Amino acid sequence: MRFLILAAGLLAASLASAADTYRSGSRVITVGDSAAKLTQIVGTPTIKEPIETKQGGQVGERWQYAVDGKTVTFEIRDGKVYSIDERRD
């Protein structure tokens, strides 16, 4: 039983991961970098969607990129990278 729980946990961890950095070739994006630097290094996102409060005010954007069989999502707030999430497709 423990083995099944451990295996399920490892599988879930390999499918999605949140990180403070993302490597694109020899360049690195770090949480706190500007959205302009992200665009310069990774390019134009495949999808941009607003992040809104319950009242409908926009607090940021989610930028998604399809890269090497992965979906990489950057949350942008106040013009800076707020979070990075990588998921295998």
- Where do the structural domains in the chain lie, given as residue ranges? 18-88
- Give 31's DSSP letter: T
Identity of the residue numbered 63 = W
Q: Are 60 and 76 in contact (CB under 8 A)?
A: yes
* pLDDT tier for residue 13 given thresholds of 50, 70 and 90: very low
Interior angle at CA 43, CA 38 and CA 44, nearest 5: 105
Task: Give one DSSP letter per residue of 3-28, joined into a string.
Answer: HHHHHHHHHHHHHEEEESEEEETTEE
- pLDDT at position 5 over 80: no
- pLDDT at position 52 over 70: yes
Model-level pTM? 0.78
* pLDDT tier for residue 14 given thresholds of 50, 70 and 90: very low
Q: Are 46 and 64 in contact (CB under 8 A)?
A: yes
18-88 adopts what CATH topology? Answer: Beta-lactamase Inhibitory Protein; Chain:B, domain 1 (3.30.1450)
Identity of the residue numbered 66 = A
